[in-house]
Amino acid sequence: MSEIKNVDYGLEKIFDGAKDFLPLLGTDYIEFYVGNAKQAAYYYKSAFGFQSYAYKGLETGSGDVVSYVLKQDKIRIVLTTPLNSQSNINDHIVKHGDGVKVIALWVDDATKSWEETTSRGAKSYMEPTTEKDEHGEVVRSGIYTYGETVHVFVERKNYKGVFLPGFEKWESDFNPEPTGLKFIDHMVGNVGWNEMNKWVKFYEDVMGFVNFLSFDDKQITTEYSALMSKVMSNGNGRIKFPINEPAEGKRKSQIEEYLDFYEGPGAQHIAVATDDIITTVGKLRARGIEFLSIPPQEYYDAVPLRLEEHNHELKEDIETLKRLGILIDADEEGYLLQIFTKPVEDRPTLFFEIIQRMGARGFGAGNFKALFEAIEREQEKRGTL
Ligand code: FE2
């Protein structure tokens, strides 16, 4: 098993002298609003290997909503469904289908986080609120980001309970094995036409993030469609949010397709890190997770040269990577292995990325180019380029 390499994003230099007014300790949880949380929980346990963690519902005195909390290493997801037609959670589900509502961020001071961000122009979603039970107290506050998605700041330093007040430990007899998912590497948002820079500015001005990587429509393009992307990071590099917007192409961009089906901006994919992608993807495939199709042989033929260009040696067996459809990208610092699932709900919206970083700090943009170059080489042979 290979180790996750510590990736130096060089953010200390970018942030040099600047005070981080919104220190973030990490991702606290991701909450999905779904049509049937009980069944969704079964899927995330069975297929992705998440573990039963906490629960609230009728049995715990929650009459309006049910929430299942699942955990795998540092990743916590919450699946929430309303229990009647009055809840405004229904509106979210009717409009967007199953999707991410809350990207919760772990902070030391939720009140200060709310004050710092709202005073810089954030729209409030939740004023600082203290919830208590016999295990202590949690302070939460929240602000809106793109679309109807929100960031909730969670201050849990005075809490010893399993998740949040109101939740109980979820004991289940059904506990499929984890698949090796460790933590959230990055989370991507899709925003509307010409809105990327607006949201880049939001993360810069309101949350104190920096834009440390950008890809224009010349870099992320196929014959038919294109997109633009800018990667935003907080001060310590623990939180990375790439923001995509569609770009003009001959046909519909995948971002445009998302916006049509999600009926607005929202979370496009959640990238989760593993330190053994071959084992993880093998397990996920065996449990029914569907991935995007395996690239052609030409893609894998080009890999050794791509790694050589940056003086890196592939530690994994390339035939195994090919068999599993895992993609390889390289930069000066190292390489990365990644693969993308198909959408995990009926609408072609949210999907997952599984990523193993072997020193590389990029997001796989090189894979677009390599894939297209490989196709062009074939076209050249056919005389159709
Ligand atoms: Fe990604």
Note down pLDDT in tens along the chain; length 385 residues: 334 444 556 666 566 545 789 999 999 999 999 999 999 999 999 999 999 999 999 999 999 999 999 999 999 999 999 999 999 999 999 999 999 999 999 999 999 999 999 999 999 999 999 999 999 999 999 999 999 999 999 999 999 999 999 999 999 999 999 999 999 999 999 999 999 999 999 999 999 999 988 887 777 666 666 678 899 999 888 999 999 998 887 666 778 889 999 999 999 999 999 999 999 999 999 999 998 877 888 889 988 888 999 999 999 999 999 999 999 999 889 999 999 888 999 999 999 999 999 999 888 877 765 444 443 454 466 565 5
Reported pTM: 0.92
- For residue 52, count other CB atoms closer than 10 A to its CB: 19
Q: Where are the beta strands (DSSP E) in the chain?
A: 26-33, 51-56, 65-72, 75-82, 99-106, 124-133, 136-144, 150-155, 168-169, 183-190, 210-215, 226-233, 240-247, 266-273, 327-330, 335-340, 351-358
Q: How many angstroms separate the alpha carbon of residue 220 from the centre of ligand 1?
A: 13
Please, are residues 345 and 366 in contact by the beta-carbon 8 Å criterion?
no
Could you write out the DSSP letters of every residue in 97-108? -SEEEEEEEE-S
Q: How many angstroms separate the alpha carbon of residue 67 from the centre of ligand 1?
A: 27
The residue from 134, 169, 204 where one domain ends is 169
Is 204 inside any structural domain? yes
Instruction: Give dist(CA 293, CA 234) in Å, integer.
Output: 33
Domain span at residue 28? Answer: 12-169
Q: How many angstroms separate the alpha carbon of residue 345 from the centre of ligand 1?
A: 18
Domain total of the chain: 2
Instruction: Give dist(CA 96, CA 264) in Å, integer.
Output: 8
Q: How many angstroms separate the alpha carbon of residue 266 from the centre of ligand 1?
A: 14
The residue from 169, 203, 233 where one domain ends is 169
- In sequence order, what are the residues at sequence separation of 6 or more whose Cβ sits closer than 8 angstroms to the Cβ of residue 57? 65, 66, 67, 83
Please, are residues 148 and 101 in contact by the beta-carbon 8 Å criterion?
yes
| Domain shared by 79 and 205, yes or no | no
Q: How many angstroms separate the alpha carbon of residue 139 from the centre of ligand 1?
A: 31
Q: How many angstroms separate the alpha carbon of residue 157 from the centre of ligand 1?
A: 31
Is 239 inside any structural domain? yes
| Domain shared by 199 and 317, yes or no | yes
The residue from 138, 169, 200 where one domain ends is 169
Instruction: Give dist(CA 149, CA 196) in Å, integer.
Output: 15
Is 4 inside any structural domain? no
Q: How many angstroms separate the alpha carbon of residue 385 from the centre of ligand 1?
A: 29
| Domain shared by 204 and 141, yes or no | no
Q: What is the CATH number of the domain that holds 254?
A: 3.10.180.10
Task: Report phi then psi at 131, rounded to 5.
Answer: -115, 140
Choose among 317, 313, 310: nearest CA to 282: 317
